[in-house]
């Protein structure tokens, strides 16, 4: 058997589109061939080079504040051709936080569309903003000048930075993860090979392209395979099956609760009649994954990883219940569970006959990759965070795991200072700072509580100021009105549960003691307001008092998904 050839580069895949008339990008109302995509990318690369020269920008960074439209794919490839960096701007960020993200990543220009343009209103931006939906003389006229542009004469090297992807750390504002062309190509080629994606396949991009899941696990592997990418502007559970049938999509990616939202749609006798064969993602939950396969005839492959790329685990069919995986992302990975303070490897975990962990206190530690850097390329303008991530020559994930006697890794939780909602990491400090502005709040503590399906939900404990009106109905209304008025409150930040304590628990050093709050969850004699679980669009729902009937329904919801809130 001949030895495998060298792995393709990102530019190899971009240039392979030239002259190909098979569909490259499809979606509602459009179908563009690979050659059309290539020409569109060349035009934008030429425009980009011109604008950067006019700006005399110190960094060739392009902020993409876009839904999943052809423009997003065009600009990703334009950046690759021009040696520039695409910055995925998270549209759930608001006001000062959104402005901070754009400034922190040194964007020389921002490309947006009609739906997202209002998010920039009132922000003190000092860089050009291109409205890609404009019918006026601006964007269209600029592109017309470069319609027949050739690819750049000098092409970037494989180690050129091509992406900055935001991810939240344990404290402070989101960090921008650096990703080079060669790392993006490696990630895409690995999945292309693993899941046997070819030019005949269509990948359904229903997750936002600003997120590493869609860019690294769908767009990149489909580009390297020469296949078709079907774009959904924003995720729609009700439109999911119709889309995959219309575009003949066999592969898709997902994060967070997307799978549970699809499962919540009305069942039909022909649900399994679709081309879907594989979904790849995180946090679907074992129960929902089994239900999805039974209903739609499509296997879900769960993985553990991060935008940083320092450690990745993928689900193995042979894994015992609850295990994430046993091997790392590369043949040279050296994964271990260690004491976060000493670096000493933790003892292997042991279980009783019912599968309950017996020695969690000694077995649980932080997951590390002891391979130097392990593919991590750093954070933009945040060397301190990068140094914290890479210590002793190891990559530290910041996540808690334990490893059993057979070598299987089991996820045990996340750092107490951050949480993960719908596969988006949120810094506790950011939410506490916002809630702390509420005039009625004397003290605030925010912490993670389990979600019935996967990941976390946001819970807050609030100590009210003396004399505050504590009538539940009025309190719920005023809290909802306050949160709705905060310009920097992201769509995933509003607490699911708000507990009102007479006095905030504190340690001897006067720090807020969250351990007891987190352990009690929502089962407490203190008054609790909550936003009931519902559809994906319930973030704006009002608060109401948590009742005994609600508690029973919550327990039943956890049981339905094979989970417990009290483990």
What local confidence, expressed as pLDDT, does residue 158 receive?
Answer: 97
- Within 13 Å, how many C-alpha atoms sit on residue 174's CB side? 32
Domain check: are 297 and 347 in the same one?
Answer: no
Radius of gyration, CA atoms only, the chain:
24
Domain check: are 223 and 81 in the same one?
Answer: yes
What local confidence, expressed as pLDDT, does residue 371 receive?
Answer: 86
What local confidence, expressed as pLDDT, does residue 536 receive?
Answer: 40
- DSSP state letter for 541: P
Domain check: are 263 and 293 in the same one?
Answer: yes
Task: Provide the CA 314 distance to its chain's centre, in angstroms.
Answer: 17
Is residue 311 assigned to a domain? no
Question: Which one of 169, 204, 231 terminates a domain?
Answer: 231
What local confidence, expressed as pLDDT, does residue 172 receive?
Answer: 60
Helices (H), 105-180: 139-144
CATH number for 508 = 3.30.300.30
Domain check: are 164 and 78 in the same one?
Answer: yes
| Alpha-carbon separation of residue 401 from 186, 338, 347, 348, 411 (angstroms) | 26, 9, 12, 11, 5
What whole-number distance in Å separates Cα of residue 202 and Cα of residue 132?
25
| Whether 138 contacts 109, CB under 8 Å | no
Domain check: are 261 and 353 in the same one?
Answer: no
183: nearest Cα among 153, 157, 206, 155? 157
Is residue 253 assigned to a domain? yes
Enclosing domain of residue 78 = 15-231
Question: Which tokens belong to 419?
Answer: 């949480």
Distance between start and end Cα atoms, the chain: 50
Q: Coil, helix or strand for 167?
A: strand
Phi-psi region of 280 (alpha: psi -120 to 50; beta: other; left: phi over 0): beta
H or E segment and range at residue 449? strand 441-450
Domain check: are 119 and 62 in the same one?
Answer: yes
Question: Which one of 414, 440, 455 terminates a domain?
Answer: 414
pLDDT tens string for the chain (567 positions)?
344 557 789 999 999 999 999 999 999 999 999 999 999 999 999 999 999 999 898 999 999 999 999 999 999 999 999 999 999 999 988 999 999 999 999 999 999 999 999 999 999 999 999 999 986 668 999 999 999 999 999 999 999 999 999 985 444 688 999 999 999 999 999 999 999 999 999 999 999 999 899 999 999 999 999 999 999 999 999 999 999 999 999 999 998 778 888 988 999 999 999 999 999 998 787 778 888 999 999 999 988 888 898 888 877 778 887 788 887 766 678 999 999 989 999 999 998 776 667 787 788 889 999 986 668 999 999 999 999 999 999 999 988 888 999 999 988 766 666 678 887 767 677 788 789 889 999 889 999 999 998 889 999 999 998 888 888 889 999 999 999 988 878 888 899 999 999 999 876 445 678 888 988 999 999 999 999 986 443 444 589 999 999 999 999 999 988 887 775
Phi-psi region of 562 (alpha: psi -120 to 50; beta: other; left: phi over 0): left
List all residues 6 or more positions away from 78 whose beta carbon is below 8 Å from its beta carbon: 41, 42, 43, 44, 45, 47, 48, 62, 84
Domain check: are 223 and 281 in the same one?
Answer: no
H or E segment and range at residue 450? strand 441-450
Number of folded domains that form the chain: 4
Is residue 221 assigned to a domain? yes
Domain check: are 211 and 249 in the same one?
Answer: no
Is residue 316 assigned to a domain? no
Is residue 1 assigned to a domain? no
Q: Which residues of 129-150 are buried (b: 16+ CB within 10 A; e: fewer)?
A: bbbbeeeeeebeebbeebeebe
Q: Which residues of 82-101 are buried (b: 16+ CB within 10 A; e: fewer)?
A: bbbbbbbbbbbbbeebbbeb
What local confidence, expressed as pLDDT, does residue 1 receive?
Answer: 39
CATH number for 279 = 3.40.50.980
Domain check: are 143 and 44 in the same one?
Answer: yes
Is residue 5 assigned to a domain? no
What local confidence, expressed as pLDDT, does residue 2 receive?
Answer: 44
What local confidence, expressed as pLDDT, does residue 170 receive?
Answer: 40
* Angle at alpha carbon of residue 506, lines to 501 and 510, rounded to 5°: 135
pTM for this entry: 0.81
- DSSP state letter for 325: B
Question: Which tokens belong to 344?
Answer: 């000493």
What whole-number distance in Å separates Cα of residue 419 and Cα of residue 423?
9
Domain check: are 292 and 226 in the same one?
Answer: no
Domain check: are 282 and 426 in the same one?
Answer: no
| Whether 100 contacts 173, CB under 8 Å | yes
| Whether 422 contacts 285, CB under 8 Å | no
Question: Which one of 395, 414, 433 terminates a domain?
Answer: 414
| Whether 15 contacts 191, CB under 8 Å | no
Task: Provide the CA 519 distance to its chain's centre, in angstroms.
Answer: 27
Phi-psi region of 488 (alpha: psi -120 to 50; beta: other; left: phi over 0): alpha
Domain check: are 396 and 429 in the same one?
Answer: no
* Angle at alpha carbon of residue 488, lines to 417 and 308, rounded to 5°: 45
Is residue 325 assigned to a domain? no
Is residue 422 assigned to a domain? yes
What local confidence, expressed as pLDDT, does residue 325 receive?
Answer: 87
What local confidence, expressed as pLDDT, does residue 416 receive?
Answer: 60
């Amino acid at each position: 058997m001949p030895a495998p050839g060298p792995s393709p580069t990102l530019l190899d895949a971009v240039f392979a589109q030239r002259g190909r008339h098979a569909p490259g990008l499809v979606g509602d109302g459009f179908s563009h061939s690979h050659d059309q995509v290539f020409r569109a990318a060349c035009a934008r690369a030429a425009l980009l080079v011109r604008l950067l020269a006019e700006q005399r920008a110190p960094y060739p960074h392009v902020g993409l504040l876009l839904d999943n439209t052809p423009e997003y794919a065009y600009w990703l490839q334009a950046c690759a051709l021009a040696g520039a960096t695409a910055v995925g701007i998270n549209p759930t960020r608001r006001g000062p936080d959104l402005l901070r993200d754009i400034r922190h990543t040194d964007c020389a220009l921002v490309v947006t569309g009609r739906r997202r343009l209002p998010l920039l209103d009132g922000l003190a931006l000092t860089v050009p903003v291109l409205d890609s939906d404009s019918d006026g003389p601006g964007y269209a006229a600029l592109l017309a000048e470069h319609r027949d542009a050739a690819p750049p004469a000098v092409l970037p090297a494989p180690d050129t930075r091509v992406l900055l992807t935001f991810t939240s750390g344990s404290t402070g504002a989101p960090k921008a993860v650096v990703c080079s062309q060669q790392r993006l190509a490696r990630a895409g080629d690995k999945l292309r090979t693993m899941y046997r994606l070819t030019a005949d396949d269509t990948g359904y991009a229903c997750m936002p392209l600003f997120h590493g899941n869609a860019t690294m696990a769908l767009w990149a592997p489909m580009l390297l395979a020469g296949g078709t990418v079907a774009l959904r502007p924003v995720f729609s559970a009700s439109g999911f099956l119709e889309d995959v049938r219309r575009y003949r999509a066999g592969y898709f990616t997902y994060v967070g609760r997307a799978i549970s939202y699809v499962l919540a749609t009305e069942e039909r006798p022909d649900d399994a009649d679709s081309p879907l064969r594989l979904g790849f993602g995180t946090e679907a939950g074992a129960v929902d994954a089994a239900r999805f396969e039974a209903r739609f005839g499509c296997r879900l492959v769960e993985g553990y990883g991060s935008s940083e790329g320092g450690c990745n685990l993928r689900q193995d069919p042979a894994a015992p219940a609850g295990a994430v995986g046993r091997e790392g992302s590369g043949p040279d990975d050296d994964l271990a569970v260690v004491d976060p303070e000493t670096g000493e490897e933790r003892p292997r975990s042991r279980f009783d006959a019912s599968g309950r962990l017996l020695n969690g206190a000694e077995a649980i530690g932080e997951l590390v990759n002891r391979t130097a850097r392990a593919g991590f390329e750093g954070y933009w303008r945040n060397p301190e965070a990068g140094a914290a991530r890479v210590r002793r020559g190891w990559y530290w994930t910041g996540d808690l795991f334990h490893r059993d006697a057979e070598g299987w890794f089991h996820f045990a939780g996340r750092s107490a200072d951050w949480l993960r909602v719908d596969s988006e990491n949120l810094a506790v400090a950011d939410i506490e700072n916002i809630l702390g502005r509420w005039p009625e709040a004397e003290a605030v503590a925010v912490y993670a509580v389990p979600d019935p399906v996967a990941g976390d939900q946001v819970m807050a404990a609030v100590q009210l100021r003396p004399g505050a009106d504590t009538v539940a109905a009025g309190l719920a209304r005023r809290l909802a009105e306050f949160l709705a008025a905060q310009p920097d409150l992201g769509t995933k930040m509003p607490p699911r549960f708000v507990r009102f304590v007479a006095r905030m628990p504190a340690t001897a050093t006067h720090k807020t003691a969250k351990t007891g709050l987190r352990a009690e969850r929502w089962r407490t004699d203190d008054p609790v307001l909550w936003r009931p679980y519902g559809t994906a669009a319930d973030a704006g729902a009002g608060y109401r008092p948590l009742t005994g009937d609600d508690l029973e329904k919550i327990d039943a919801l956890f049981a339905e998904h094979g989970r417990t809130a009290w483990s």
